[in-house]
Amino acid sequence: MHYKSSLEFSIKLSGSLICLALLFVQSARSQNSVNIDIDTNKPIAHVSKEMWGIFFEDINFAADGGLYAELVKNRSFEFPMPLMGWKQLKTGGKQASLLIVNHQKAGSSHARHAAIDLIEGPGSFVLSNEGFRGIGLEKDKQYRFSIAACSFSDSVKIRIEAEDPKNEIVGSAKIDKLTSDWQTYTVIFKCKETTAKARLNVIFEGKGKVEVDMISLFPRETWKNRENGLRADLAQKLADLHPGFMRFPGGCIVEGRELLNRYQWKKTIGPTDGRELLLNRWNVEFAKRSAPDYYQSFGLGFFEYFQFCEDIGASPLPILNCGMACQYNSAEVVSLDQLDPYIQDALDLIDFANGPQTSKWGALRAQLGHPKPFNLRLLGIGNEQWGEQYIERFKLFAAVLKSKYPEVKLISSAGPSPNGTMFDLLNKKLREEKAELIDEHYYRDPEWFLKNVNRYDTYERKDSKVFAGEYAVHIPDNMQKDTHAESHNTIWSALCEAAFMTGLERNADVVQMASYAPLLASIEAWQWRPDLIWFDNLHSVATPNYYVQQMFAVNKGDVVLSTLSKGKPLAGQDSIYATSSIDTVKGNIIVKLINTSLNARTVNLNLSGSNQLKDMITWIELSDKDKSAFNSLDNPQAVKPEMKTIKLGKRKTFELKGLSANVLVLPLSKKSNFNKN
Ligand code: AHR
C-alpha cells in the first residue's frame, strides 16, 4: 500500500485513545477475532465529492419505456415501420382509410403524421397503441393525453379509452371540436382500476378528414410533477442513491453502431416534436435479446439530463462521441481532418451548460427555462474507445477544450478491459498526455473483484486519476438456476462489489469517481444484466447491489483514514474487507466492514487519535444467509439493509454476520476539533 506521507491537510484530534467495543451474538465462529486499527491521526486521502455516482444509459428501455414517463410508443409515427406499436381497428361497420403522410421539409426532423379519412357508417375508426409492453395505469391516478390534430370537418370527434386486458375501459376522455389549423389538444382523465397492460385507443368518429401527430399519454404525477416528465418512482430511486455525479447518455449509444447513428446532443433539445428519432443500438445488438421496437425519441434529452442532475445534487458528466463509432460493430471513424464539428459540439455543449445568457448556447439554455448555468465540470471524450486512433482524436479534443475551458476536467477511455495490451497502451499513452481522469471498465466474475481489491494500492499516484466508470460483478449464466431476470443481482455479487469498493475508497487519492453499470432495466425488455434497478410498467425494485451503492454514497466521508490489520490494509484477510473515513462536515467516523465468509466474524475495532465519541452509534447492515438471494418484483424486500442505533458503552467487539456489508457511523462529540488545514 502506498500511503501519502505529506498530505495537504492534517486532522488534529485532541483526546485520548478510544477503544470501541460491541458485541453481536451469533453462534458460528470459525476464526479468531480480527483486530482493526484505525488511526484518526493518519488521514490517507481526500474523498472527492463525486466519488460514488451513477451511470445512465438508454439500454434495457431505461429511457423510452422507463425513466421517461411517456406511455405511448412511436407517438409520432417516426419508427421506420410507421405503424409499429399501433393497430387499426374499425367498429360498427365504419369505412375509413389511413395514410401515413411524409411531409418532410428541409430542416424538419419529424417527417410523418397520420391522415385519416372517415367515410361512412355510425361506428368508429380506432388507432390503438400497445405502449411499452403494455401501458401501466394506476387506480385513482390522473393521466394527461395530448394529440396534435387538424380537421376541416366539424363532424369529426376524437375520444380516447384506456382498455385493460379484459377489455374493460379503465379511463376515458373526449375532444369535441377540432380546428382546421394544427393544434395540440390536451385532456386529463382519472383511471378507475390498476393495470400493467392497458392499451390506449384513440377513437375517431364522424365524417371527413382528420390529421394527427404526437399522440401522447403521461401520468400527471411525475418526478417533481413536471409536465410530461420523468417516472416518479424511478427518479426517486436514483435520487435516493445520493449520487455524487451522473454520467449520461451512455455507454455504447454515444458511439452508435455507425457514425450516422451516434448520439448528437444538439438533436435532443428544444420542443419534443423537433427531436429526431434515432435507432437505439441495443435494438439490434444481441440476437438473443433483440428489441425491434427500441428507438430513441429523446424526450429525455440533454436539457432534461442536466435538470435532473441539478435536482438530485449530482455533478453532470456528459459523454460525447469523439468521432468514433462502436469498435465492436463498424469501427467507423471520422477522418482527422473532419473532426472539427465533433470538437465544436463539445465546445458548444460547455457553452450550453455554463455560458452566460448572452452567449449563443447559453441563450438557448435560458430560453428553454434555465437561465442559470448548469455548472458542468466534467466531460467524457468518447465512451469505450481504444487504439491509436482514439489517442489521436483525444489529443485533438483535449488541445482545444483545455485551452478554452481549463476548468472542465476531461475523461478519457481505457477501453473495454481493465488489463491486457489494449489497456496497457491506452493507460501509458494517456498518462503521457497527462490525461486527467481515465475511465476503466470491469464487468468481471466475483473472484476477479475479490482478487483485485488491492488493484489501486500500487497505482501511480501522480497526474492521471481513475474513473471506475462501469463495473458490475457478473455471475456466469451457467451458475444461475433461477429464471427471474433479476436473479443475477445476488447478495453475493453485491458483497463482492462492496469488498472491491473498500479498495476504491482506500485509494480515493487515485480513484476519484466510480459508478456501477448499467443502471435501469425493464424486466420484460432487457438486453444486459445484471442491472442496479429493475422495473415493470408499475413497480420497480432495488437490488442488493443498489443498497451497497447507497450505503457507500450516503456514508461517504471526505477523508480516508488508515485502517490496518497487523500493519496491513484489511483487504480479504479472514474474508474481511474494511475501510474507514471521517465525515468532517457531519462529524462522524464511518467504518465499512464487509464479510464475504458464510460464517460470522468477530472484529476488534481500535480507534486511536480520536476525541470523544458519542454513546449512541448507527449500524447499517445488509446481509443474507443465502449467497444467491436476490430481490425480485415479486419479493422486492428479500434483501434490504437494516439500520439500528446501539449503545457503544465500553464494548470492544463487533460480530459481523456471515455474508454481510456493514457501515458503522460513530458520531464524534465535538466535530469542531477537526482541522483540515
Ligand atoms: O453497460 C453496458 C455497456 O457496457 C455500455 O454501453 C458500454 O460502455 C459497455 O461495454
Q: Map 54-106 to HEC letters.
A: EECCCCCCCCECCCECCCCCCCCCCCCCCCCCEEEEEECCCCEEEEEEECCCC
User: Which tens digits make up the pLDDT trace of 544-557?
Assistant: 999 999 999 999 99
Ligand 1 atom 5, closest CA? 251
How far apart are the CA of 395 and the centre of ligand 1, in A? 23
How far apart are the CA of 423 and the centre of ligand 1, in A? 16
Q: In Å, how far from its chain's centre is CA 28?
A: 39
The mean per-residue pLDDT over the stretch 313-334 comes to: 97
- The CA-atom distances, in angstroms, between 556 and each of 64, 314, 585, 604 are 32, 14, 11, 22
- State the CB neighbour count (10 A cutoff) for residue 444: 18
On the question of a cis peptide bond just before residue 122, with omega within 30 degrees of 0, the verdict is: no
Question: Residue 370: which residues within 8 A CB-CB, separation 6 or more?
Answer: 303, 306, 307
Question: Residue 36: which residues within 8 A CB-CB, separation 6 or more?
Answer: 563, 564, 565, 570, 578, 591, 593, 603, 604, 605, 606
Pick from 507, 501, 494: nearest CA to 631:
494
Query: What is the DSSP code (8-state) at residue 449?
Result: H
**Residue 13 — very low, low, confident or very high, per pLDDT cuts 50/70/90?**
very low
How far apart are the CA of 41 and the centre of ligand 1, in A? 41
CB 333 within 8 A of CB 389: yes
DSSP run (H or E) holding 53: strand 52-55
pLDDT greater than 50 at residue 672: no
The mean per-residue pLDDT over the stretch 506-521 comes to: 98
- Candidate of 417, 442, 443 to mutate for ligand 1, largest count of ligand atoms within 8 Å of Cβ: 443
Ligand 1 atom 7, closest CA? 251
567 φ, ψ (degrees, to nearest 5) = 80, 0
CA atoms within 13 A on the CB side of 508: 27
How far apart are the CA of 75 and the centre of ligand 1, in A? 28
pLDDT at position 136, please? 98
Pick from 382, 383, 363: nearest CA to 373:
363
Query: What is the DSSP code (8-state) at residue 442?
Result: E
213 φ, ψ (degrees, to nearest 5) = -160, 170
pLDDT at position 651, please? 64
How far apart are the CA of 471 and the centre of ligand 1, in A? 9
**Residue 159 — very low, low, confident or very high, per pLDDT cuts 50/70/90?**
very high
**Residue 608 — very low, low, confident or very high, per pLDDT cuts 50/70/90?**
confident
Return the HEC string of 519-572: CEEECCCCCCCCCCEEECCCCEEECHHHHHHHHHHHCCCCEEEEEEECCEECEC
The mean per-residue pLDDT over the stretch 554-576 comes to: 97
167 φ, ψ (degrees, to nearest 5) = 65, 20
153 φ, ψ (degrees, to nearest 5) = -100, 130
One-letter amino acid of 124: S
| Residues forming beta bridges with residue 511, ordered by sequence position | 466
Q: In Å, how far from its chain's centre is CA 519?
A: 4
Task: For CA atoms 207, 208, 209, 214, give the dihedral sign.
Answer: negative
For the residues of 595-660, what is the DSSP string, one character each?
E-SSSBEEEEEEEES--PBPSEEEEEEEE-SSTT-B--SSSTTSS--EEEEEE-TT--EEEEPSSE
User: Which tens digits make up the pLDDT trace of 215-266?
Assistant: 999 999 999 999 999 999 999 999 999 999 999 999 999 999 999 999 999 9
Distance (Å, rounded) from C-alpha 480 to C-alpha 474? 11
pLDDT greater than 50 at residue 23: no
Ligand 1 atom 2, closest CA? 518
Q: What ligand 1 atom has the least distance to the C-alpha of 328?
A: 10
Q: What ligand 1 atom has the least distance to the C-alpha of 528?
A: 2
Name residues contacting ligand 1 (CB within 6 A).
57, 59, 250-252, 383-384, 416, 470, 517-518, 528
- The CA-atom distances, in angstroms, between 660 and each of 26, 575, 621, 638 are 13, 11, 7, 14
The mean per-residue pLDDT over the stretch 454-467 comes to: 96
Q: Which amino acids are annotated catalytic?
A: 384
**Residue 21 — very low, low, confident or very high, per pLDDT cuts 50/70/90?**
very low
pLDDT greater than 70 at residue 637: yes
pLDDT greater than 90 at residue 458: yes
pLDDT greater than 70 at residue 314: yes
How far apart are the CA of 385 and the centre of ligand 1, in A? 11
**Residue 77 — very low, low, confident or very high, per pLDDT cuts 50/70/90?**
very high
The mean per-residue pLDDT over the stretch 408-419 comes to: 98
Q: Which residue has the cell 419508427?
A: 79
pLDDT greater than 80 at residue 356: yes
Distance (Å, rounded) from C-alpha 626 to C-alpha 448? 21
**Residue 28 — very low, low, confident or very high, per pLDDT cuts 50/70/90?**
very low
How far apart are the CA of 280 and the centre of ligand 1, in A? 13
Pick from 446, 484, 400, 666: nearest CA to 575:
446
Question: All 3 cell numbers of residue 462?
Answer: 501522480
pLDDT at position 32, please? 78
Distance (Å, rounded) from C-alpha 31 to C-alpha 397? 55
pLDDT greater than 80 at residue 19: no
How far apart are the CA of 517 and the centre of ligand 1, in A? 7
On the question of a cis peptide bond just before residue 251, with omega within 30 degrees of 0, the verdict is: yes
Ligand 1 atom 1, closest CA? 518
How far apart are the CA of 22 and the centre of ligand 1, in A? 43
Ligand 1 atom 8, closest CA? 251
State percent of the chain over pLDDT 70: 93
Ligand 1 atom 9, closest CA? 251
**Residue 478 — very low, low, confident or very high, per pLDDT cuts 50/70/90?**
confident
Q: What ligand 1 atom has the least distance to the C-alpha of 55?
A: 1
Distance (Å, rounded) from C-alpha 287 to C-alpha 494? 28
pLDDT greater than 70 at residue 200: yes
How far apart are the CA of 516 and the centre of ligand 1, in A? 11
Q: Which residue has the cell 403521461?
A: 218
Q: What ligand 1 atom has the least distance to the C-alpha of 383?
A: 8
Distance (Å, rounded) from C-alpha 342 to C-alpha 339? 5
The mean per-residue pLDDT over the stretch 71-91 comes to: 97
pLDDT at position 109, please? 67
- Candidate of 55, 247, 252, 262 to mutate for ligand 1, largest count of ligand atoms within 8 Å of Cβ: 252
497 φ, ψ (degrees, to nearest 5) = -65, -45
- Candidate of 59, 263, 473, 531 to mutate for ligand 1, largest count of ligand atoms within 8 Å of Cβ: 59
pLDDT at position 234, please? 98
Q: What ligand 1 atom has the least distance to the C-alpha of 57?
A: 6
Q: What ligand 1 atom has the least distance to the C-alpha of 252?
A: 6
Ligand 1 atom 3, closest CA? 251
pLDDT at position 323, please? 98
Pick from 580, 462, 573: nearest CA to 2:
462
Q: What ligand 1 atom has the least distance to the C-alpha of 250?
A: 6
Q: Which of 327-341, 499-513, 663-677 has the lowest mean pLDDT?
A: 663-677
How far apart are the CA of 442 and the centre of ligand 1, in A? 10
